Homo-oligomer: A and B are copies of this chain.
Amino acid sequence: MKEVRVYIQLKQGILDPQGKAVSGALQQLGFPVNGARVGKEIVLEIEADTDQQALELAEEMCRKLLANPVVEDFRCTLGEG
C-alpha cells in the first residue's frame, strides 16, 4: 500500500473567487497578505508494488477523474508531506 498525495490548483490566470475571499478576509483581520489561491489536497491509499507504479496510477486518476485539465493543474508526490 502506497500513500500518494495529489495537489490540484486552478491554472494561473483562472479567476479564483474562493482565494479572493480568503485573501480579503485575512486582510480584514489585519494580516499582511497579498494573495491566496485555494486548491485541493487529496491523500490516496493505492495498492501498488512500486513507488513509480503508484505515482503513475495517481496521475492517471487525475487525468480521468480528479482534476479538470481545462482549468486545473495537478501534481502528485509520494508519502508524507
Q: Which residues of A approach B to under 8 Å, CB–CB?
A: 1, 7-9, 19, 22-23, 25-26, 29, 31-48, 57, 60-61, 64-66, 77, 81
Contact = CB atoms under 8 A, between A and B. Distances in A.
Given A22-B66, A25-B65, A44 B40 contact: no
Given A25-B65, A48-B32, A57-B31, A41 B43 contact: no
A81 B5 CA distance: 11
A29 B48 CA distance: 16
Contacts of A35: 44-45
A61 B31 contact: yes
Nearest to A44: B36
Contacts of A60: 31
Given A22-B66, A39-B40, A33 B7 contact: no
